[in-house]
């Protein structure tokens, strides 16, 4: 049998780590600083033996004895902590840095080469192709345009509307047999569920913050001609080195780039801004479309998640998204985009402002007087009859002393009439949680240097991305852990 078999389990890894640390670093208790001990303690406590079971079917019963998948995943995570950009430099680091080898689960005299890491990535990727699309494609021309306002995002270039896309996705269930399925299975079973067990994520009442961020993979779109046509702009296919990428516009840095638009769902109610589900889309894709594709994929893989709130920025301010959230009992907390219109007439007599408050014929904002949950409608009263301080109106809009009453059903315009109400403190407090997306993206792109990978295939980008997400959850476990058992062992020995 040449399948990977972990006989000792996690205890064997811990015993091996202690033995090798004592052998190669006998003065480790005084030599290592608090930060390094914290890193050692996190990997010492992280049990990855379940990965060895998950990956069994990716190995043959013939051939040499393979490295344990748990050790390979662990080593890939250690490389990110030590900020090594690729597996070529990492395999060299393992030969010279004994601590890196020990944390990975390898003996310093027996570390894997660069080919072993790439072979393991092939096992993680459930496809014979390294990319989603074929290398041969028609000539890609830059379709996305620079917005007139520097602070705005580029306009969508999709040929269909968001509503049409949502209807298409509803009628076409996504198969879980995608190439990144095994990566998500490992992330889900070993990391996401453990974070849920620790109380770091509430899967029964999941509050998601969604946002797209730019992932630059190259300085230009690399391709070569496959034909002998003299015309450089002929319609023949080109061979692209990165077929899943294209040109997009980075609104934060005000420049065009080549790569992906990574749409990430983050647990906004988590103190550690933990990632839940990612999707690498082409760079030119608008966030409103990225949300639809990512949510559709997430529900196929993460069926047990009960999403109760969606926190989104103004790029998602589309009526179809509000209606979709309403149909699925999701509270849509979305910032308004002024270009979508902020005022409209209500029954030809009352104007509704951007805060969702009716304005009466006298030009006064009416007073919110509760929400009828059973009928899904807000109640507003005349401010004069409500006896608001500083308001006096002689206009007689109702024969009743109670004053004019307006009922506004939320289903008529869920974009303006949100639950909770846009002008409420509750809405603002919930929307403030959306900054978890920025913090999560910062962890991935700056702290763990996502873009430094410089890989040539979607397979390698997904492997790097999921390992970074695993490191984010590991960091959260370390914060939740009150003690450091391995440091205590060496403290007693000292």
Q: How far is CA 187 from the centre of its chain?
A: 13
Beta partners for 406? 380
Structure confidence at residue 340 as a pLDDT band (50, 70, 90): low
Question: What is the tens place of the pLDDT at every residue in 377-397?
Answer: 778 877 766 667 667 676 667
- Given a cut of 80, is residue 220 above it in pLDDT? yes
Question: What is the tens place of the pLDDT at every residue in 282-326?
Answer: 999 999 999 999 999 999 999 999 999 999 999 999 999 999 998
Closest CA to 277 of 182, 169, 192, 214: 192
Alpha-carbon separation of residue 302 from 181, 206, 317 (angstroms): 11, 12, 25
User: How far is Cα 35 from Cα 457, in angstroms, rounded to an integer?
Assistant: 34
The pair of structure tokens assigned to 288 is 């409103």
Structure confidence at residue 354 as a pLDDT band (50, 70, 90): low
- Given a cut of 90, is residue 467 above it in pLDDT? yes
Asked whether the beta carbons of 249 and 154 are under 8 A apart, the reply is yes
- Given a cut of 70, is residue 87 above it in pLDDT? yes
Closest CA to 343 of 430, 413, 427: 413
Q: Compare 8 and 345 and report the one with higher pLDDT.
A: 8
- Given a cut of 60, is residue 348 above it in pLDDT? no
Q: What is the DSSP letter of 107?
A: B
Place of tokens 């289903």: 411
User: How far is Cα 388 from Cα 391, in angstroms, rounded to an integer?
Assistant: 6
Structure confidence at residue 343 as a pLDDT band (50, 70, 90): low
Q: How far is CA 317 from the centre of its chain?
A: 19
Torsional sign, CA 308, 312, 315, 317: positive
Question: What is the tens place of the pLDDT at every residue in 97-156?
Answer: 999 999 999 999 999 999 999 999 999 999 999 999 999 999 888 888 888 877 778 888
- Given a cut of 80, is residue 437 above it in pLDDT? yes
Q: SS3 string of 19-49?
A: HHHHHHCCCHHHHCCHHHHHHHHHHHHCCCH
User: How far is Cα 464 from Cα 461, in angstroms, rounded to an integer?
Assistant: 5
Quote the pTM value. Answer: 0.90
Q: What is the pLDDT of residue 409?
A: 73
| Percent of the chain at pLDDT exceeding 70 | 91
- Given a cut of 70, is residue 341 above it in pLDDT? no
Beta strand 307-312 with 206-218: parallel, antiparallel or unpaired?
parallel
- Given a cut of 90, is residue 401 above it in pLDDT? no
Asked whether the beta carbons of 287 and 315 are under 8 A apart, the reply is yes
Rounded mean pLDDT of 4-11?
A: 91
Asked whether the beta carbons of 54 and 182 are under 8 A apart, the reply is yes
Structure confidence at residue 202 as a pLDDT band (50, 70, 90): very high
Q: What is the pLDDT of residue 483?
A: 83
How many other β-carbons are positioned within 10 Å of the β-carbon of residue 452? Answer: 13
Q: How many CA atoms lie within 13 A of 395 on its CB side?
A: 10
Question: What is the tens place of the pLDDT at every residue in 26-69?
Answer: 998 888 999 999 999 999 999 999 999 999 999 998 888 899 99
Reply yes or no: is the peptide bond before residue 420 cis, omega within 30 of 0: yes
User: How far is Cα 245 from Cα 225, in angstroms, rounded to an integer?
Assistant: 18
Residue 259 has phi, psi (to 5 degrees) of 155, -140
Q: What is the pLDDT of residue 217?
A: 93
Q: Compare 235 and 477 and report the one with higher pLDDT.
A: 477
Number of residues assigned to the chain: 494
- Given a cut of 60, is residue 433 above it in pLDDT? yes
Question: What is the tens place of the pLDDT at every residue in 255-284?
Answer: 899 999 999 999 999 989 999 999 999 999
Q: Going along 316-387, which residue ranges are E strands?
A: 331-334, 344-346, 350-352, 358-359, 367-372, 377-381
Place of tokens 């980075």: 250
- DSSP three-state, residue 250: strand
User: How far is Cα 269 from Cα 122, in angstroms, rounded to an integer?
Assistant: 35
Rounded mean pLDDT of 353-359?
A: 70
User: How far is Cα 27 from Cα 30, in angstroms, rounded to an integer?
Assistant: 6
The pair of structure tokens assigned to 305 is 């998640």
User: Is residue 11 within a helix (H) or strand (E), and if so which, with residue range?
Assistant: helix 9-24
To the nearest 10 degrees (0 to 180), the angle between helices 9-24 and 485-493 is 40
Asked whether the beta carbons of 214 and 283 are under 8 A apart, the reply is yes
Report the chain's mean pLDDT, rounded to a whole number.
Answer: 89
User: How far is Cα 472 from Cα 474, in angstroms, rounded to an integer?
Assistant: 5
User: How far is Cα 491 from Cα 486, in angstroms, rounded to an integer?
Assistant: 9
- Given a cut of 60, is residue 344 above it in pLDDT? no
Rounded mean pLDDT of 325-347?
A: 76
| Percent of the chain at pLDDT exceeding 90 | 61
Q: What is the pLDDT of residue 219?
A: 84
Torsional sign, CA 184, 190, 191, 194: positive
């Amino acid at each position: 049998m040449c399948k990977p078999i972990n006989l000792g389990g996690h205890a064997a890894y811990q015993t091996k780590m202690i033995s090798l640390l004592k052998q190669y670093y006998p003065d480790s208790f005084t030599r290592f600083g608090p930060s390094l001990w914290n890193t050692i303690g996190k990997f010492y406590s992280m049990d990855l033996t379940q990965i060895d079971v998950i990956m069994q079917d990716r190995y043959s019963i013939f051939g040499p004895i393979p490295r344990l998948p748990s050790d390979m995943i662990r080593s890939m995570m250690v490389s990110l902590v030590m900020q090594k950009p690729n597996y070529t430099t990492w395999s060299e680091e393992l030969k010279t840095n004994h601590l890196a080898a020990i944390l990975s689960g390898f003996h310093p005299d027996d570390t894997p080469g660069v080919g072993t890491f790439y072979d393991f990535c092939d096992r993680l990727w459930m496809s014979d192709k390294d990319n989603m699309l074929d290398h041969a494609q028609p000539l890609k021309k830059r379709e996305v345009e620079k917005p007139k306002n520097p602070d705005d995002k580029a306009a969508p270039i999709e040929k269909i509307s968001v509503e049409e896309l949502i209807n298409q996705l509803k009628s076409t269930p996504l198969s879980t047999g995608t190439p990144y399925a095994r990566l998500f299975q490992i992330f889900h079973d070993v990391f996401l569920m453990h974070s849920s067990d620790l109380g770091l994520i509430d899967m029964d009442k999941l509050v998601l913050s969604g946002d797209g961020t730019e992932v630059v993979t190259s300085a230009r779109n690399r391709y070569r001609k496959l034909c002998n046509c003299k015309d450089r702009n002929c319609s023949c296919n080109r061979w692209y080195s990165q077929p899943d990428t294209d040109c997009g516009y980075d609104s934060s840095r005000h420049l065009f780039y080549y790569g992906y638009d990574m749409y990430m769902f983050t647990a906004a109610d988590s103190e550690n801004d933990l990632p839940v589900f990612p999707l690498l889309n082409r760079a030119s894709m608008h966030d409103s479309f990225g949300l639809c594709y990512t949510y559709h994929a997430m529900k196929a893989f993460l069926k047990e998640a009960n999403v109760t709130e969606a926190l989104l920025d103004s790029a998602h301010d589309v009526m179809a998204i509000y209606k979709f959230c309403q149909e699925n009992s999701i509270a849509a907390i979305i910032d308004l985009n002024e270009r979508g219109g902020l005022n409209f007439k209500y029954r030809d007599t009352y104007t509704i402002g951007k805060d969702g408050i009716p304005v009466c014929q006298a030009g006064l904002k009416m007073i919110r007087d509760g929400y009828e949950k059973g009928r899904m409608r807000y109640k507003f009263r005349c401010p004069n009859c409500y006896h608001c301080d500083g308001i006096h109106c002689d206009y007689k809009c109702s024969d009743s002393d109670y004053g004019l009453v307006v009922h506004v059903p939320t289903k008529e315009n869920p974009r303006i009439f949100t639950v909770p109400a846009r002008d409420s403190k509750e809405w603002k407090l919930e929307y403030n949680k959306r900054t978890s997306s920025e913090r999560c993206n910062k962890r991935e792109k700056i702290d763990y240097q996502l873009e430094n990978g410089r890989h040539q295939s979607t397979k390698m980008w997904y492997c790097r991305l999921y390992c970074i997400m695993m490191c984010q959850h590991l960091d959260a476990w370390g914060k939740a852990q009150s003690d450091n058992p391995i440091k205590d062992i060496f403290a007693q020995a000292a």
